[in-house]
């Protein structure tokens, strides 16, 4: 895996918690995995928003098409 060295600034309490949780040798892996998960969550939420917009914008068109084909969908079914 290609890596890039970064210099980041954290609040003292978060840095202390990070040290106590993962130790001094595993901070980079922990931070990278945490960022990866957060980025995936943001991308997923953005995709969900786009899909929701798309469904809302085509709602009326979909309803019109369903109404147009309703007689054919019911064709051959017994009356209840």
Q: 7 in a domain, yes or no?
A: no
Number of domains in the chain: 1
| 46-55 pLDDT per residue, tens | 999 999 988 8
pLDDT at 80: 61
pLDDT at 79: 67
pLDDT at 33: 96
Percent of the chain whose pLDDT exceeds 70: 95
Q: 55 in a domain, yes or no?
A: yes
Tokens of 26: 């595993």
Give the H/E segment covering residue 15.
helix 12-22
pTM score, whole prediction = 0.64
Find the mean pLDDT for residues 8-32.
94
pLDDT at 51: 92
If you average pLDDT over every residue of the chain, what do you get? 88
Instruction: Provide the 10 A C-beta neighbour count for residue 12.
Output: 7
Domain, as residue range, for 45: 12-74
Tokens of 22: 């993962």
């Amino acid at each position: 895996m290609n890596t890039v060295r970064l210099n980041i600034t954290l609040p003292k309490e978060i840095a202390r918690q990070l040290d106590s949780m993962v130790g001094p040798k595993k901070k980079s892996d922990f931070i990278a995995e945490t960022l990866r998960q957060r980025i995936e969550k943001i991308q997923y939420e953005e995709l969900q928003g786009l899909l929701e917009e798309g469904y809302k914008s085509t709602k009326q068109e979909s309803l019109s098409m369903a109404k147009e084909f309703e007689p054919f969908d019911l064709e051959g079914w017994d009356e209840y």
